[in-house]
Amino acid sequence: PKYLFSPCYCNSSFPVCYRALIFPFLIRQGKPTPFLTFVLAFLFCIYNGYLQGRSLSAYARYPADWLKGPYFITGFLGWLIGMAINIHSDHILRNLRKPGETGYKIPRGGMFEYVSGANFFGEIVEWFGFALACCTIQSLAFALCTLFILGSRAKQHHQ
């Protein structure tokens, strides 16, 4: 059979670039991040990006009609919807306070009308969509790690 080489590779590039390179520059002011936390998060993103890219470019093989199949289409749509929720939720959070304003505010609008951690929810949906589109153990492992890490953060934020 004919094989298509790594159709999911480009799906993993934009979210990683958004979170690591674009998002930090969009944040106005916030609590300072400890340097060690920054370095560890940066190294994690690089290592995970390498593992995802390596698994997709060197090991994953797909049938020629994979891009037309239900797993890829459903996964791609889940990834796209999750990323849109994530980016929109980040926009709402960035604009909660006016410059110089402090204090706790409850976000309104978008998916925040349905879940208290809409940004976390969007990222979880995004990575499970990616895992479904790619159907690799590495993408599933990352989606599960995202669920456990962001799920616990969402619970803390909700409380």
- On the question of pLDDT at 157 being above 50, the answer is yes
Residue 83 confidence (pLDDT): 93
Kindly indicate the confidence band of residue 3, based on its pLDDT and cuts at 50, 70 and 90: very low
The mean predicted confidence, pLDDT, of the chain is 83
The two structure tokens encoding residue 28: 């106005």
The more confidently predicted of residues 13 and 110 is: 110
pLDDT tens profile 127-156: 999 999 999 999 999 999 999 999 998 888
Nearest residue to 94 (alpha-carbon basis) of 29, 156, 151: 29
Residue 24 confidence (pLDDT): 62
Among the listed ranges 3-12, 27-36, 88-97, 145-154, which one has the minimum average pLDDT value?
Answer: 3-12
Q: Which residue has the tokens 């599933």?
A: 140
Percent of the chain surpassing pLDDT 70: 81
Residue 110 confidence (pLDDT): 94
Number of domains in the chain: 1
Residue 20 confidence (pLDDT): 58
Q: Kindly state the average pLDDT of the residues 17-33.
A: 63
User: What range defines the domain where residue 93 resides?
Assistant: 1-158
DSSP per residue over the chain, as a string?
--EEE-TTHHHHHHHHHIIIIIHHHH--S-PPPPHHHHHHHHHHHHHHHHHHHHIIIII-EEETTGGGSHHHHHHHHHHHHHHHHHHHHHHHHHTSS-TT--S-----SGGGGT-TTHHHHHHHHHHHHHHHHH--HHHHHHHHHHHHHHHHHHHHHH-
Q: Are 55 and 145 in contact (CB under 8 A)?
A: no
**Rounded CA separation 19/127 (Å):** 13
Beta bridge partners of 62: 4
